[in-house]
């Protein structure tokens, strides 16, 4: 308040005596809690200044509140009348919120004159009814599972805004009466009965009321939903338990439709699944629709159905794949027999030879012994026979009794009878076998098999020989005729009656080295056919001997078959395949490696050849000269290679050459005549320009330069052979050098034996003894192809990159700088050697010396003893290097 008074004082001073001020402020006003937005709190007015300047738009306004709130705002009633109202942005709660608010109201006119006053607003307490907690105030859905036991269902909770300590109890009532629910005074909702969703009562609407101690009340609603669960078994609705079906229904035929319903389907995602639990192979059921279909052929006349035509099945229905409720039902299918099998016989053709003087009434054949019907029940299993029919059989043959299948002779078969001669003494009788019951099936086989053919022959006497209709035959056949092609026909006949059947065969001729028989003759008709194709160039003419026999006589005839020449041979060229390697800069028009093709064709002229290159001739680099009119042609480079320009990218060519024998034919004749084509395969590899490869092999502190020249093409066949052979020889040479190196080390290095266990110097003298190494160079006759610098001495030396041998380059005077510095040590070493003690053994590791052999020699010549313990003699060493001392070992080498 002191700050507000100070602010008022400052504003008054700034107004310089102007009279603008707020009327009826400061003041104190009351407002009820939970007032609605727009409730009037306090009215005030503004006294304008002497200049009568109006209040600026937007003024007066509340510039500050204590405590901070947005619950109040200033509304304009007129130019000078205003009121403070509630905004509704914040709820005014006497019990939980602030009860007193100080509002600073600020006003300003157009000339800048201002005034500031304080309005104190006090929130008054109003008795409020109870309120339900949370979503319960707007109503609530409850869910109870069907079948649940009566008892507790839900706890209703409310509170009294006036009772901040929650010590005064509230009373709860169930307004809407219900036989299934009740409520205690403390708000406990309980069920009084069990619930069954399928009974139809699946939802209850309840009204709950709460009252405080002063009688104020509030109400809300509860909707109790009964949750359906899967507690009912499915029920079959299809009444049929016995199904009668005919046999031979096709697979997939629907024979029954099993239906069921699920009482729990309402409110649940439910579907029924059907299955057949009985093991059977005849029926299957759709697990979703329950339709039963035929899965396998139903044959009443075979297998287990012939003995027992009833099939019993157990159908299972479930309301979910796993668990859930299920039900079972037994059904039976009775398979009825139908007349689906025709009468059949084990034999349909009979041949009977009857003596010409056979008596009438003679039983010729009994068909009832070979014919039957496979149907399982009569009359479907019964059959009969029709009367004999056929040319000349009407008055000669019959059945006795009719339809019995017993055929008897009723006429005269005398051979000399003119009517029998007219019939040829050979009779063809046809009898049909059929069912007795409809639909009178005659056969389930292709037509003609339901007929029974009976051939009756009269025995004749042989009086005339068998004779061909020509003394000899000559036939022509093209050499391109396919197998089974007709060549011609021979015929032989016998004047005897009846003329018996003649059988033809090839007795001699018609053989080749590849086939024992090139020709085949129809034994009944005498038609001559090819077994395989014939070749004019191999055999132009065949002489055959064909024999005919009628089981009584035999006759032979000569048949000459002339083979007609055709163009059926492909050109054959030498070589048939070849590999060529050519340089990339080969000149155009060059005959590649003098390669040529020599072609032959047994049925074409050498001038009939025409040459062409098929797939593989990329960019047309290759051609043949001449390309037609000769049986010899050369392979020529037609265009140059252009690999740098990017035109060519292929280095290996696979050419397929076609040789066709149609060069002498005109365009019209080519379309009509036979043309043969041969092929040749050529592999051509283009060799690029030789290249030089310099390989530098880095070694520690030494540079090796190895120069090799590639003179071979990587695509040539001999390259891997040469590389393998050279690698083998180098490996053998390396092994030999290692063996020589081991021998040299064994000869020049001291060995640890029992004789040298005594120390060479006294204790305490080792520290002052200098270790010296005498250098010995072994000269080898070899080729040195590399050069390097010794990192210790700075002298240059040459080395062999393959064997590792090394030598100093130039005069030994290059080493004078480090020789002088080590002469005194060499003299001392010589003195020790003269005394018989020998130099101390070197313990230095192998360093960056000249080479493997040189390093072994540098280990100390003159320091090795012979077998007798005497010092070695250096007679085989270079005198110029006799007293040379080696440089000190480089540290870390």
Q: Do residues 71 and 33 lie in contact, with contact meaning Cβ atoms separated by under 8 Å?
A: no
Mean pLDDT of 24-41: 90
**With the CA atoms of 476, 479, 482 and 486 taken in that order, what torsion angle do they form, in degrees rounded to the nearest 10?**
0
The length of the chain is 893
- Residue 636: C-alpha distances to residues 185, 627, 720 (Å): 118, 10, 29
Contact assessment for residue 34 and residue 91, using Cβ atoms and an 8 Å cutoff: yes
Most confident of 207-216, 441-450, 763-772, 817-826: 207-216
Per the rule left: phi > 0, alpha: psi between -120 and 50, beta: everything else, 856 is: alpha
Beta bridge partners of 798: 787, 807
Q: Token pair of 335, please?
A: 């398979």
Q: Two tokens at 363?
A: 């039983």
Residue 371: name the closest of 346, 391, 389 by CA. 346
- Segment 737-758 mean pLDDT: 72
Quote the CA–CA distance of 387 and 392 in Å, as a whole number. Answer: 14
Give 35's pLDDT tier (boundaries 50, 70, 90).
Answer: confident
Question: Average pLDDT of 232-252?
Answer: 90
Bridge partners (DSSP) of residue 529 are 486, 520
Q: What is the pLDDT of residue 543?
A: 93
pLDDT confidence of residue 715: 53
Question: What SS3 state is found at 173?
Answer: strand
Contact 141, 153 (CB under 8 A): no
The residue with tokens 């080898």 is 780
| Cβ neighbourhood burial of 679 (10 Å; 0-12, 13-18, 19+) | middle
Residue 15 phi, psi dihedral angles, 5° rounding? -70, -10
pLDDT at 777 over 70: no
Is the peptide bond prior to 60 cis by the omega test (within 30 degrees of 0)? yes
DSSP bridge pairs for 706: 695
The three-point CA angle 122-128-132 to 5° equals 130
Q: Over the range 554-563, which residues count as b (16 or more CB within 10 Å of their CB) and which as e?
A: ebebebebeb
Reading the block at residue 177, the tokens are 């009466």
Asked if residue 138 lies in contact with residue 119, where contact means CB atoms within 8 angstroms, the answer is: no
* 835-846: b (≥16 Cβ within 10 Å) or e: eeebbbebeeee
CA 391 from centre of chain:
70
- Which residues, including other chains, have CB under 8 Å from residue 596's CB and lie 6 or more apart? 632, 633, 634, 635
The band of 550, judged by pLDDT with boundaries at 50, 70 and 90, is confident
Name the least confident of 40-44, 248-252, 351-355, 831-835. Answer: 831-835
Q: Is the peptide bond before 171 cis (omega within 30 degrees of 0)?
A: no
Higher pLDDT, 307 or 857: 307
| Beta carbons of 872 and 866 less than 8 angstroms apart | yes
Is there a contact between 154 and 172 (Cβ–Cβ < 8 Å)?
no
Q: Contact at 8 Å (CB) between 238 and 261?
A: no
Of residues 785 and 247, more confidently modeled = 247
| C-beta separation of 136 from 128 below 8 A | no
Q: Which SS3 state, helix, strand or coil, does residue 335 take?
A: strand
Mean per-residue pLDDT, 20-42? 90
Percent of all residues in the chain with a pLDDT value above 70, rounded to a whole number = 77
pLDDT for position 358: 85
Mean of pLDDT over the chain: 78
**836 confidence band (pLDDT: 50, 70, 90):** very low
Residue 316 to residue 695: CA distance in whole angstroms: 85
829 φ/ψ angles, rounded to the nearest 5 degrees: -65, -35
Contacts of 252 (CB under 8 A, 6+ apart): 293, 294
For residues 432 and 390, the answer to whether their CB atoms sit within 8 Å is no
pLDDT at residue 760 is higher than 80: no
Across 417-553, the runs of DSSP E, i.e. the strands, are: 426-435, 451-458, 466-468, 472-478, 486-489, 492-494, 503-508, 519-521, 527-530, 541-549
- Cα–Cα distance measured from residue 675 to residue 568, given in angstroms and rounded to the nearest whole number: 8
DSSP bridge pairs for 211: 171, 217
- Average pLDDT score over residue span 626-653: 89
User: What token pair was written down for 741?
Assistant: 């190196």
**Residue 667 to residue 279: CA distance in whole angstroms:** 75
Poorest-pLDDT segment among 293-307, 418-432, 507-521: 418-432
- Beta carbons within 10 angstroms of residue 119's beta carbon: 24
Lowest mean pLDDT among 156-160, 360-364, 622-626: 156-160
Name the residue among 477, 479, 478 with its Cα closest to residue 487: 477
Name residue, tokens 């001073």. Answer: 13
Find the largest Cα–Cα distance for the chain.
Answer: 175
Per-residue confidence (pLDDT) for residue 822, from 0 to 100: 43
Strands 349-354 and 451-458: parallel
Closest CA to 812 of 820, 824, 804, 800: 820
Q: H or E element: which one contains 206?
A: strand 203-211
Is a pLDDT exceeding 70 seen at residue 75?
Answer: yes
What pLDDT is attached to residue 673?
A: 66
Average pLDDT score over residue span 799-823: 60
Decide: 365 and 328 in contact? Cβ < 8 Å. no
Helix boundaries (H) for 215-301:
none
pLDDT band at 629 (very low <50, low <70, confident <90, very high): confident
Give the model's pLDDT for residue 838.
38
Residue 451: partners with Cβ closer than 8 Å, 6 or more residues away: 348, 430, 431, 432
Q: Tell me the pLDDT band of 771, cut-offs 50, 70 and 90.
A: very low
CA distances from residue 656 to 100, 576, 612, 749, 763 in whole angstroms, order as listed: 110, 10, 9, 70, 91
CA nearest to 792, candidates 844, 751, 745, 827: 844
Question: Pick the residue with more confidence: 607 or 12?
Answer: 607
Using the predicted structure, report yes or no on whether residue 486 has a pLDDT greater than 90: yes
Measure CA of the first residue to CA of the last residue in the chain; give whole Å. Answer: 96
Which comes out higher in pLDDT, residue 3 or 273? 273
Look at residue 841 and tell me whether its pLDDT is greater than 50: no
* 3-class DSSP assignment, residue 668: helix
DSSP for 29-88, please give it: EEEETTPPTT-EEEEEEEE--TT-PPBPTT-SEEEEEES---SEEEEESSSSEEEEEE-S
H or E, element range at 3: helix 2-14
pTM score of the predicted model: 0.35
Distance, in Å, from the CA atom of 608 to the CA atom of 629, rounded to the nearest integer, reads 6
């Amino acid at each position: 308040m002191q700050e507000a008074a100070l602010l008022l004082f400052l504003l008054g001073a700034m107004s310089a005596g102007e009279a603008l001020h707020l009327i009826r402020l400061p003041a104190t006003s009351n407002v009820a809690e939970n007032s609605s937005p727009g409730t009037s709190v306090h009215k005030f007015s503004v006294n304008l200044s002497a200049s009568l300047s109006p209040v600026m738009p937007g003024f007066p306004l509340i510039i500050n509140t204590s405590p901070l709130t947005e619950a109040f705002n200033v509304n304009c009633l007129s130019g000078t009348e205003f009121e403070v109202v509630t905004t509704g942005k914040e709820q005014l709660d006497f019990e939980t919120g602030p009860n007193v608010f100080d509002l600073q109201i600020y006003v300003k006119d157009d000339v800048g004159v201002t005034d500031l006053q304080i309005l104190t607003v006090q929130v008054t307490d109003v008795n409020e009814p109870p309120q339900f907690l949370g979503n319960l105030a707007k109503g609530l859905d409850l869910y109870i599972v069907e079948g649940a036991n009566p008892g507790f269902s839900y706890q209703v909770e409310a509170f009294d805004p006036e009772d901040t300590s929650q010590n005064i109890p509230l009373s709860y009532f169930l307004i809407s009466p219900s036989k299934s629910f009740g409520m205690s005074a403390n708000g406990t909702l309980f069920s009084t009965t069990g619930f069954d969703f399928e009974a139809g009562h699946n939802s209850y609407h309840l009204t709950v009321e709460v009252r405080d101690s002063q009688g104020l009340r509030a109400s809300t609603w509860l909707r109790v939903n009964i949750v359906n669960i899967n507690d009912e078994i499915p029920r079959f609705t299809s009444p049929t338990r016995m199904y009668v079906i005919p046999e031979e229904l096709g697979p997939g035929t629907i024979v029954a439709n099993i239906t069921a319903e699920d009482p729990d389907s309402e409110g649940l995602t439910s579907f029924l699944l059907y299955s057949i639990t009985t093991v059977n192979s005849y029926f299957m059921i759709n697990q979703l629709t329950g339709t039963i279909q035929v899965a396998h052929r139903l044959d009443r006349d075979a297998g287990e159905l012939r003995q027992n035509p009833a099939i019993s099945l157990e159908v299972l229905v479930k309301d979910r794949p796993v668990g859930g409720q299920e039900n079972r039902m037994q059904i039976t299918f009775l398979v009825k027999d139908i007349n689906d099998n025709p009468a059949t016989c084990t034999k349909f053709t009979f041949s009977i030879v009857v003596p010409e003087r056979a008596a009438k009434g003679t039983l010729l054949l009994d068909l009832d012994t070979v014919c039957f019907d496979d149907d399982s029940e009569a009359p479907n299993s019964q059959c009969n026979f029709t009367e004999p029919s056929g040319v000349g059989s009407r008055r000669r043959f019959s059945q006795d009794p009719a339809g019995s299948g017993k055929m008897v002779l009723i006429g005269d078969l005398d051979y000399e009878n003119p009517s029998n001669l007219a019939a040829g003494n050979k009779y063809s009788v046809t009898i049909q076998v059929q069912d007795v019951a409809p639909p009178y099936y005659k056969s389930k086989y292709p037509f003609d098999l339901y007929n029974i053919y009976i051939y009756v022959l009269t025995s004749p006497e042989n009086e005339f020989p068998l004779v061909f209709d020509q003394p000899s035959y000559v036939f022509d056949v093209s050499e391109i005729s396919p197998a089974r092609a007709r060549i011609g026909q021979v015929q032989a006949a016998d004047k005897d009656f009846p003329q018996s059947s003649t059988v033809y065969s090839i007795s001699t001729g018609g053989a080749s080295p590849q086939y024992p028989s090139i020709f085949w003759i129809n034994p009944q008709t005498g038609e001559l056919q090819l077994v395989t194709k014939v070749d004019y160039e191999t055999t132009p003419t065949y002489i055959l001997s064909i024999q005919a026999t009628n089981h009584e006589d035999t006759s032979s005839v000569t048949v000459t078959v002339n083979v007609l020449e055709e163009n059926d041979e492909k050109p054959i060229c030498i070589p048939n395949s070849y590999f060529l390697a050519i340089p990339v800069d080969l000149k155009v028009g060059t005959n590649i490696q003098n390669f040529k093709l020599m072609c032959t064709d047994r049925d074409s002229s050498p001038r009939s050849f025409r040459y062409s290159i098929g797939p593989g001739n990329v960019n047309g680099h290759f051609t043949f000269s001449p390309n037609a009119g000769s049986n010899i042609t050369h392979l020529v480079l037609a265009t140059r290679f252009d690999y740098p320009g990017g035109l060519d990218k292929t280095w290996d060519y696979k050419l397929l050459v076609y040789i066709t024998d149609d060069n002498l034919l005109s365009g019209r004749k080519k379309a009509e005549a036979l043309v043969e084509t041969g092929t040749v395969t050529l592999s051509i590899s283009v060799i690029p320009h030789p290249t030089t490869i310099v390989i530098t092999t880095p070694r520690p502190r030494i540079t090796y330069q190895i120069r090799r020249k590639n003179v071979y093409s990587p695509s040539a066949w001999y390259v891997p052979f040469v590389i393998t052979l050279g690698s083998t020889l180098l490996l053998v040479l390396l092994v030999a050098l290692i063996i020589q190196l081991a021998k040299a080390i064994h000869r020049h290095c001291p060995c640890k034996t029992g004789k040298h266990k005594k120390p060479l110097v006294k204790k305490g003298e080792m520290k002052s003894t200098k270790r010296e190494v005498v250098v010995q160079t072994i000269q080898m006759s070899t080729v040195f192809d590399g050069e390097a610098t010794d990192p210790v001495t700075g002298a240059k030396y040459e080395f062999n990159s393959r064997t590792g041998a090394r030598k100093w380059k130039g005069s030994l005077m290059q080493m004078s700088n480090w020789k002088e510095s080590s002469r005194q040590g060499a003299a001392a070493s010589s003195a020790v050697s003269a005394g018989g003690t020998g130099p101390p053994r070197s313990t230095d590791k192998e360093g960056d010396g000249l080479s493997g052999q040189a390093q072994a020699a540098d280990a100390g010549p003159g320091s090795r003893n012979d077998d007798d313990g005497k010092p070695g003699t250096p007679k085989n060493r270079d005198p110029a290097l006799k007293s040379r001392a080696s440089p000190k070992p480089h540290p870390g080498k």
